[in-house]
Amino acid sequence: MRLFGTDGIRGQVWKEPLTRENILRLGYVLGKRFPRILAVRDTRESGEEIEELLAEGITQGGGQLTSAGVLPTPSLAYLVPSFRFALGISISASHNPFLDNGIKLINQFGRKLSTREEKEIEEETLSLTYLNLNRGKNWKKVGMDGFYRDFLISHGKDLGGMKVLLDSASGAGYRVAKEVFSSLGARVKEISPKPNGRNINLTGSENPQEISWKMKRTRATVGFAYDGDADRCIWIDEHGEILNGDHTLYFMARKFLEEGRRWNRRVVATVMSNLALEEALNEMGVLLYRSPVGDRFVFQKMMHIGAILGGEQSGHTIFRKILPTGDGILTSVLIASYLAEKGEKPSLWREKLTLYPQKNLDIPVKSKRPLERLKGYQEGMRALKERFKDAYFLVRYSGTQPLLRIMVQSKTPEKTEEVMEALEKFLKEILKRENILED
């Protein structure tokens, strides 16, 4: 059994790997290693119990847990080093539905733990056989919203009454995002329902239909949609059209050039980013480097090549000189500040970067057996690449859900659809034959 995936521990609550026993064991191991730990959580109804279990385990291990309550995951990247905690814990399943939850670990520098550190913690956690429970909790609850809010405000500019719609997905950014924009002088409205523990991610960046519809019927300048733990941000123009993380990278690169910022003109995106982004950046004299999917890999590539800007199409955008991780609220503050400064409409930037037609499809699977080991997979993929030389496609397992993800890009919708149909048929045949296709 494994605990850690590509983004911490994640799964359906009270089932492997996120059982109560595993959470207690993990807390114990963390308490032995880290004396002072800061935790935040999103709005899922299971979050408080997970936090209590962690607190009990951490106490038994000899550590102390400080809870800052409901705050976005990226707040830890600022708060942990600022207040000299040894470790940060985010209790969140990010963009997943409410039945899921997760545990992400952030080191003293505000970065995710390395895979080596996660493996060591996992091995020690799974080796434990028994814990003596009910010994109490060395647990403090401290309000830290104001410190994080002030940090975000410090990176914004006067928005001069700009009308902004926010959709926080009834998640961790529900309060703080509105407070930040109001403090910067915006006329702001939060459109997602008040969190009730179960409505997280029903709207937001994963389901932006509501904010898109409302943008079309208001005179708002811009809308921003986050996911459940507010590390992602997409934006919506005044016509209700969506701009994703690729638009954000293009927009910020152009702004860096316009303001004469000293940087090495290198941007990191993932293999999922649109080919049009790469072409547009190259025309500006900016080089695009690609990493595997996952903000951990984006940041590692940024460090390797010295890039200060990087991100994912899904809306994770990393401004390395500010934070070592994606922060959706920070991203929206920077975008709004630039728009206000120049008096620009977001639709201008959607028109400047016209993305090639792209289609994504998820196929449920029973297990994630390595694709290259499936009989006929490599030969079939080579044949498809030879057949569709004018298209770009990617097949990979989700790092956090039992899904096989397919992405296709080409220069016409018709070709994109044709390639997707061929890929879907081929992959489902392989998965069914190997008995790993989920019915």
> How many CB atoms are located within 10 Å of the residue 383 CB?
12
Write phi, then psi, for 260 (nearest 5 degrees).
70, 25
The answer for 54, left when phi > 0, alpha when psi is -120 to 50, beta otherwise, is: alpha
Active-site hit among 94, 168, 170, 332: 94
| Residue 410 falls in the annotated catalytic set | no
Rounded to whole angstroms, how far apart are CA atoms 226 and 201? 9
* Residue 241 identity (one-letter amino acid): E
Give which of 252, 217, 251, 215 is closest to 236, Cα–Cα: 215
Tokens 């291990």 belong to residue: 61
Catalytic (active-site) positions: 94
